[in-house]
Amino acid sequence: MAAAKKGRRAPASQGHPGRTLILVLIAMAALVGGMFYSGTLTPRLGIDLAGGTSFTLAAQNQPGRPNAINETNMNTAAGIMERRVNGLGVTESEVQTQGSNHIIVNIPKGTDAKQARQQVGTTAQLAFRPVLTTGPGAKAPEPTPSPSQSGKGGEKSTGGKSGAQQSASPTPSASATTQGRAVTDALKKPSASPSGSASDKPSAQPTPPVPGGADIPPALQKQYAALDCSSKKSLAQANEQAAGAKPGDPVVACKDDGTQKYVLGPVGVEGTDVKDAKAVFDSQQGQGWIVQMDFTSDGGKKFADVTGKLATKAQPQNQFAIVLDGAVVSDPRVSERLNGGNATISGGFTQQSAEDLGNMLSYGALPLSFKIDDETTVTAALGGEQLRAGLIAGAIGLALVVIYLVAYYRGLALVALASLGVSAVLTYTIMTLLGPAIGFALNLPAVCGAIVAIGITADSFIVYFERIRDEIREGRTLRPAVERGWPRARRTILVSDFVSFLAAAVLFIVTVGKVQGFAFTLGLTTLLDVVVVFLFTKPLMTLLARRTFFHDGHPWSGLDPRRLGARPPLRRRRTAPTQTKEA
C-alpha cells in the first residue's frame, strides 16, 4: 500500500503550485517596491527619446608630432572615448569621428555632463617620475628647499607590520600639508611638507641633487620658485607645460588640487607599461577606496628597478610622483623595492575619484590631445514621434495577438494574458531599476526588442497549450494531459529561447551603439520568458486543471474534447485468470 501511494505521488516541483505562484508575486512586489524606494518610476531614456548633451572635440597638434592627426589615431581616440563614457555606466552613448580632426560625443540626458566632459577630454598621458624636491603650492620668495629641510617621515608597512621612520628637520613647516597616496604595502604618504622662511637666503642653501648625480638646473630652480599652483590659470599652464615635456627632461609640476608643487626627474616608467587599473574597496586593511594597477612584464621590471633606487634615498627624493596629463595625482614614498608587477594607489580616495582614475588608466591614453569646441543640448522631438509610432504599432500587434488567443484558445487565453501581464511587469520594473544601477537607457531599438519579445513569449504559451490539447486528443483527461504535455513543451520552449538568447548575445557582442540596446532588451525578455513559463504559466495551469470549468472541458474553456476530436478513453481489456491444467 505504501509503495502504491508513493507511486501516485505528484512530482515535487508540482506538489505545491500555489507556493510557486506566491513566490512570483512576492518577486513582483519586491521589484515594484524597489522602484518606489529608489524614486525611479520610469525607465531611463536614451538620447533619441529624451535628448542629452553633444560634445564636439577638436584634435590638437602636439609638440614634436606634426603628423599625429591622422585617420588611425582619430579612430583609436574615438574607441577609447566610447569605452570611457560607457565605463561611467552610460550604455547608449554615441561617439563618432567627423571630418579629419573632430569627434562627436552624444550622451543621454541624466548623465553627469561635467564628469563625462572630463572623461572624454582627458588624454590620460600617465608617467611615473621621481620627486627631486617639493613644497607648498603657493608662490614664495624662498629658495628651493633641500632634502635636509623635509618634514618628518611617514610609516612603512609591509606584510601587515608597521614601524616609524623619522628624519631630522631643522626648519619644519608651521602648517603641514598632507601629500600623496600610498602605492602597494611598501608605499605610504608623507605626513608633512617642507616650507622655508622668508629670511632664508638662496645662496646659503645647497641645491638638491638630481638622482643620477646631476644638479637641478638654475633655470628650473627659478621656474619652481616662481610657480604659483594656487592660481587656476598658473595651475593650468603648469599642467600643460609638464604634459608637453619630453620624457627625458626634468620638469616642474603641480599637484592636481594645487596644494603642492614639485621638481620632477625624468620619466622612470611610462603609462603604456600599465596593463590594467581598477577601483577596489579595501575592507581588510581599512584603506577605503584604492586603485589597483597591474604592469606589463617590461613595466614590472622597470618599476622594480626604479623603486629599488628610490628606496635608498632620503625624503623627499624617495617619493614617486604619478603624473597624469602633467598634474601630480599621487606622490607616494618608496620604502623598499617593489616586485611582482603590481601596485596599489590608496589614501584619500572617494568611490567616484577612484573609479574615475581607474577608468582613465584602464582604458588607455588618447593618442591625441583634444579641446571641446562646442557643447550643445540635443532635443528629442524626432525620437518622441518615432516612439509614439512604435508604441502604436506595438499596441496594434498586441491587440491582434489577444484577439487570436481569445478566438482560438478561449478560456486558455486568460492564462496567456495573465502570463503576458506578469512578463510585462517584470520587464518594466527590471529595465527601470537597471537605469540607475548600470546606466541602461531605453532607446528606440530597445523598444523594438521589447515588442518583438511579445511574439516570443506568446509562442511559448502556444507551444504548451498545443501539447496539452494533443494529449486530450489522445483520450486523456485534463490533469494527466497537463503533466504529460509539459516535458515535451518544456524541451521545445528551452530550445527556442536558447536560440533567441544566443542570437541576442552575439548581436550584443559584435555591434555597438543603439543596436546593443535592441540585443540587450531581446536577451532580457527571452530570459524572463523562461522564468514566466516555468514559474507562472505551468503552476497556473496545474491549478486550473483542478477546476470544473477546465477539467470537464467546458465549450468555452478551449479544452472541449468534442471540439478537439478526442478519441474514446483508453481502456484495458480484462481477461479471466487461467488455471494450469495438471497432467
**Domain segments of the chain as ranges:** 18-42+380-564, 52-119, 125-156+174-356
Minimum mean pLDDT range among 23-32, 136-145, 260-269, 487-496: 136-145
More confident residue, 395 or 175: 395
- One-letter amino acid at 473 equals R
Residues 189, 152: Cα–Cα separation, whole Å: 11
Q: Which of 81-95, 283-297, 311-325, 396-410 has the lowest mean pLDDT?
A: 81-95
Give dist(CA 286, CA 425) in Å, integer. Answer: 42
What is the average pLDDT across 478-488?
A: 88
The C-alpha cell of 282 is what? 579595501
**Rounded alpha-carbon distances, angstroms, from residue 81 to 109, 361, 364:** 18, 12, 9
Per CATH, domain 52-119 is 1.10.287.370: no
* Cell numbers that stand for 128 in this block: 611615473
pLDDT at 351: 82
For 408, the grid coordinates are 482560438
pLDDT value, residue 580: 47
Q: What one-letter code names the amino acid at 241?
A: Q
Q: What is the pLDDT, as a whole number, of residue 111?
A: 63
14 Cβ neighbours under 8 A, 6+ residues apart: 483, 538, 539, 542
Question: Which contiguous run of DSSP H or E holds residue 161?
Answer: strand 161-164
Distance CA 62, CA 59 (A): 9
First to last CA, the chain: 38
Q: Which range (212-216, 241-245, 299-303) has the least confidence?
A: 212-216
Residues 226-240 have a mean pLDDT of 81
> What number is the average pLDDT over the span 170-192?
36
The beta strands (E) that lie in 203-356 are given as 251-255, 260-264, 269-270, 274-282, 288-295, 320-324, 327-330, 333-334, 342-346
Q: Alpha helices, DSSP H only, in 39-112?
A: 47-50, 71-87
268, with CB counted inside 10 A (0-12, 13-18, 19+), is buried
Among 427, 417, 309, 347, which residue's Cα sits nearest to residue 181? 347
DSSP letter (8 states) at residue 153: -
| pLDDT score of 314 | 81
CB–CB of 481/557 below 8 Å? no
Q: What is the pLDDT of residue 92?
A: 61
Query: 3-class SS at 175?
Result: coil
Amino acid in position 496: S
Query: With respect to CATH, is domain 18-42+380-564 assigned 1.20.1640.10?
Result: yes
Which sign, positive or negative, has the C-alpha torsion 126, 132, 134, 138?
negative
- Percent of the chain that is helix, strand, coil (3-state, to 5): 45, 20, 35
d(CA 267, CA 321): 10
The mean predicted confidence, pLDDT, of the chain is: 74
- Per-residue model confidence (pLDDT) at position 528: 92
3-state secondary structure of 51: coil
Q: How far apart are CA 483 and CA 545, in angstroms?
A: 10
- Which residues neighbour 388 within 8 Å (Cβ) at sequence distance 6 or greater? none
**Which comes out higher in pLDDT, residue 320 or 87?**
320
Per-residue model confidence (pLDDT) at position 190: 41
Cβ atoms of 253 and 323 closer than 8 Å: yes
| 50 three-state secondary structure | helix
**Predicted confidence (pLDDT) at residue 502 exceeds the cutoff of 90:** yes
Percentage above 70 pLDDT, the chain: 72
Q: pLDDT tens for residues 334-373? A: 878 877 777 777 767 788 778 777 776 666 667 677 877 8
- Region 171-175: mean pLDDT is 29
- Verify cis geometry, omega within 30 degrees of 0, for the bond prior to 316: yes
Q: Is the pLDDT of residue 199 over 70?
A: no
> Residue 18: is its pLDDT beyond 90?
no
Is the pLDDT assigned to residue 13 strictly greater than 50?
A: no
Mean pLDDT of 522-550: 89
478/580: higher pLDDT: 478
Distances (CA, A) of 132 to 219, 263, 274: 15, 5, 23
**What pLDDT is recorded for position 119?**
66
Task: Kindly tell me if the per-residue pLDDT of 318 is higher than 60.
Answer: yes
Identify the pLDDT of residue 494. Answer: 92
Q: Would you place residue 171 in the very low, low, confident or very high pLDDT band (cuts 50, 70, 90)? A: very low
Please name the residue that has the C-alpha cell 508513493. Answer: 6
Residue 381: all three cell numbers together: 522631438
Cβ atoms < 10 Å from Cβ of 307? 27
pLDDT one-digit tens code per residue, 553-571? 788 887 877 777 766 654 5
Task: Please tell me the distance from the alpha carbon of residue 249 to that of residue 265, in angstroms, as a whole number.
Answer: 7
Q: What is the pTM of this model?
A: 0.53
Q: Is 72 exposed, middle or buried (0-12, 13-18, 19+ CB in 10 A)?
A: exposed
pLDDT surpasses 60 at 149: no
pLDDT category at 310 given cuts 50, 70, 90 is confident
Closest CA to 418 of 536, 567, 530: 536
- Residue with the larger pLDDT of the pair 388 and 158: 388
Q: What is the pLDDT of residue 91?
A: 55
